Amino acid sequence: MSASRPVVCYTDVGGTFTDCFVVTENGDFALGKAPTTPADIAEGFHAALRMAREHLGLTEQEFLGGLEVIGYGATTVLNALLTRSGGKPGVLVTRGFEDLLTMERGKQSWVTLSRVDRIHPVTHRRQPPLVPRTRVRGVGERINSVGAEMIPLREQDVLSGVDQLLAAGADSLVVVFLWSFLNDGHERRTKEIIEAELARRGLSDIPVFISSEISPTLRELPRANATTIEAYAGPSTLRALAKLEGDLKAGGFTGDLQVMQSAGGLAPARHVRAVDTAMSGPVGGVVGTRFIGELYGFDDLISTDVGGTSFDVGLVSGGFIGIDREPVLAGLLLSLPMMEVHSIGAGGGTISRIDALTGRLVVGPESAGAIPGPVCYRKGGTEPTVTDANLVLGYLNPAGLLGGKVNLDAASAADAIRTKIAEPLGLSIEEAALGIRRVIDTRMKEAVSGLVSLRGSRMEDYALLGFGGAGPGHLCGYSEGLPLKAVLTFPYAATFTAFGAASADYEHHYHRAVNAVVPPAAGDDALADVGRRLTAAWVRLEEQAVEQMEREGFARDEISLRHLAMVRYGKQLNDLITPMPISRAHTADDVRAVLAAFEDLYARVYAKGAQFPQAGFEIFEVGLVAAAHKVKPWLVKSPLADEDAREARYDERPAFWQGEWQPTQRYDWDLLRPGNVVAGPAIIEALTTTLVVPPSRAARVDEYRTVWIEE
């Protein structure tokens, strides 16, 4: 390949593979893939970069020296949590709450379970706490629910607690006091005392984390979890990032290593908090979806990512990506904003079986995973999977996947489906395989329509993007019958998440507690008082955001700010993240505008009949999103050729459609040209994915090589 300067590189370190995606100044893409090396993430990282670099035919200096942005996403924090291989934090909590991390919340014992296991209590389990009870100490102090001091801080408790925690082997210290997000005075003073004491002991390298800095939001357990995770996995994660950045700079890279955050958006590795990066994996897909939306002028989009074990759905509504404010990470409840991605157990490796009691066909949520994998992989799998069904139906190339690197055994797949599904149901093998597909496609489709209706949106407003290795194979199935504006997929569907991550902006999310209760029929004075509180909180957030982003090298005029308020009706327990029409609320009318924005959103998300203004309103938190533009990948526009796709044709292969085997044209995705239209039934194969086009649908390639699925 001729050398063209690489501009943007994004590397996603997954559990099994590390994927690298590079865009050059010509708009060409280069991919790198290497096994992830958990013992030293850098090894797999550099191997993936090397593969992409070699694909471009560049030296290391040419490659790293040319790149303007290197983005990075990793599951380092998640892995540390799953394997309980982090540090040894010691925790100081409000006296009386010393059991907080061991009693946790009941929800943490079942939140990650399937529907059946949730209702079957003998399957519920507790994970070992990140911090054992023996490394927790109480401190006499109390702030109340309106932010007032109720019990003064007992400084002697802090000193004795630190002494005992250090004696117990703590390598970092965490402070979590109740209501500290409303009044952080006690936590800040405690931090001062601890740092002075550590300095006195010559232990200033022991980091101190306070919850009002890490996660200043309501709910003590999620706040404690977030703060403890930062202490538990943060120091090692940040050390690894610093080493990685050092390696890159030594190789000629002149920029800052940028890390993907769970809420979307990149941030410099030197300034990021580890806990904010914990769920970067699925983020790229949604960010990329928004990027594609901007290209085509779609404000409302659905991202759907079909992998081996899960089907991940995310929404972009009105150009905004949904944020989950109470996410679950490795079974721990958090109160940090993370991109909203709903997952169900449905993918290529999903296992199908016949229920012994009812004789019903059950597909998922269990997965055969990479090992033992589908039966056709011949790695020990014995239970028929969705991939096996696809192979039996002729949708996957029996010669193998990844250009023959993965051999497939169609006979074994057929045999498994025959004995385990078809015969018990009295169906033919093909009918059974089709049944597996129908059930899995229905589950995916219901997950999509469920999320759209959950957000009160109309399906007609949305374009749906399908990606992930198994996405194009099921896209037509799970989008069938949905009144969508458009259905799109891509030749680079299998690496779309890395592409998407490369398209992210620099972004930080900030939030801050306020105490703003608007009673029913509030007068102007009460409203104006609420306005003052909101404004004061936004100003503080703006100062924080600008200070941080300027430190990261952005000029003030490069930073865009988006103001948010988390609003709910009186005494409700959920609030809505409401984008604000204003950035200051000086008058009662300004506050009315805030509340009107909330009421409009509420009616759209739920129903007009669900509005409840007579209960008054509550705003206990405001937010701010600060962003700065970053150079992004760009898709090269090519002139449209005619619709005839004959140059991309391979051969015909029988595939099972509508109850019968039909000769089906096979295409090479790489050879399809802009303008080409492929009418179903057809199979369009790329190296890393296969697009299945049924008889009633067609695939049209546009000038960006994006494929539009048409009726």
Task: Identify which of residues 223 and 630 has a Cβ nearer to another protein in the complex.
Answer: 223
Task: Identify which of residues 28 and 461 has a Cβ nearer to another protein in the complex.
Answer: 461
Distance of closest approach, residue 436 Cβ to another protein, in angstroms: 9
Task: Identify which of residues 246 and 519 has a Cβ nearer to another protein in the complex.
Answer: 519
The Cα 162–Cα 379 span in angstroms is 52
Task: Identify which of residues 87 and 140 has a Cβ nearer to another protein in the complex.
Answer: 140
Task: Identify which of residues 202 and 609 has a Cβ nearer to another protein in the complex.
Answer: 609
Burial class (CB in 10 A: 0-12, 13-18, 19+), 379: middle
Task: Identify which of residues 10 and 97 has a Cβ nearer to another protein in the complex.
Answer: 97
CB 95 within 8 Å of CB 157: yes
Place of tokens 């002991």: 201
Distance of closest approach, residue 257 Cβ to another protein, in angstroms: 36
Beta strands 142-143 and 149-151 are antiparallel
The Cα 605–Cα 599 span in angstroms is 10
The Cα 134–Cα 131 span in angstroms is 8
208-210: strand order across its sheet: 136-139, 89-94, 172-176, 208-210
Place of tokens 């069938």: 480
Distance of closest approach, residue 110 Cβ to another protein, in angstroms: 6
Distance of closest approach, residue 306 Cβ to another protein, in angstroms: 17
Task: Identify which of residues 100 and 684 has a Cβ nearer to another protein in the complex.
Answer: 100
Helix (H) or strand (E) holding 603: helix 588-605
Distances from the Cα of 186 to the Cαs of 99, 218, 224, 650, in angstroms?
20, 16, 15, 71
Query: What backbone phi and psi angles, to 5 degrees, belong to 559?
Result: -95, 125
The encoded tokens of residue 533 equal 């509180």
Distance of closest approach, residue 151 Cβ to another protein, in angstroms: 6
Distance of closest approach, residue 164 Cβ to another protein, in angstroms: 12
Burial class (CB in 10 A: 0-12, 13-18, 19+), 609: exposed
Helix (H) or strand (E) holding 617: strand 617-628
Question: CA 317, 320, 321 angle in degrees (round to 5)?
Answer: 90
Distances from the Cα of 282 to the Cαs of 30, 341, 475, in angstroms?
21, 7, 18
Task: Identify which of residues 85 and 102 has a Cβ nearer to another protein in the complex.
Answer: 102
Distance of closest approach, residue 675 Cβ to another protein, in angstroms: 35
Distance of closest approach, residue 32 Cβ to another protein, in angstroms: 39
Beta strands (DSSP E) in 380-457 are: none
- Taking every pair of Cα atoms in the chain, the longest distance, rounded to a whole number of angstroms, is 82
Query: What backbone phi and psi angles, to 5 degrees, belong to 197?
Result: -65, -40
Residue type for position 284: G
Task: Identify which of residues 612 and 708 has a Cβ nearer to another protein in the complex.
Answer: 612
The Cα 148–Cα 390 span in angstroms is 62
Task: Identify which of residues 118 and 188 has a Cβ nearer to another protein in the complex.
Answer: 118
- According to DSSP, residue 301 is labeled E
Distance of closest approach, residue 580 Cβ to another protein, in angstroms: 20
Distance of closest approach, residue 439 Cβ to another protein, in angstroms: 5
Cis peptide before 207 (omega within 30 of 0): no
* 573-593: b (≥16 Cβ within 10 Å) or e: eebbbbbbebeebeebebbbb
Distance of closest approach, residue 421 Cβ to another protein, in angstroms: 10
Task: Identify which of residues 132 and 319 has a Cβ nearer to another protein in the complex.
Answer: 132
Distance of closest approach, residue 683 Cβ to another protein, in angstroms: 22
Task: Identify which of residues 61 and 123 has a Cβ nearer to another protein in the complex.
Answer: 123
Place of tokens 């002729």: 394
Task: Identify which of residues 103 and 203 has a Cβ nearer to another protein in the complex.
Answer: 103
Place of tokens 């593969």: 51
Task: Identify which of residues 19 and 312 has a Cβ nearer to another protein in the complex.
Answer: 312
Instruction: Tell which residue, 437, 447, 459, has the closest CA to residue 385.
Output: 437
The encoded tokens of residue 364 equal 């998922």
Helix (H) or strand (E) holding 498: helix 496-502
Distance of closest approach, residue 181 Cβ to another protein, in angstroms: 9
Task: Identify which of residues 55 and 438 has a Cβ nearer to another protein in the complex.
Answer: 438
* Chain-centroid distance, C-alpha 251: 30
CB 645 within 8 Å of CB 693: no
Distance of closest approach, residue 503 Cβ to another protein, in angstroms: 30
Distance of closest approach, residue 294 Cβ to another protein, in angstroms: 29
Task: Identify which of residues 75 and 227 has a Cβ nearer to another protein in the complex.
Answer: 227
Altogether, the residues listed in the chain come to a count of 711
Cis peptide before 639 (omega within 30 of 0): no
Distance of closest approach, residue 550 Cβ to another protein, in angstroms: 34
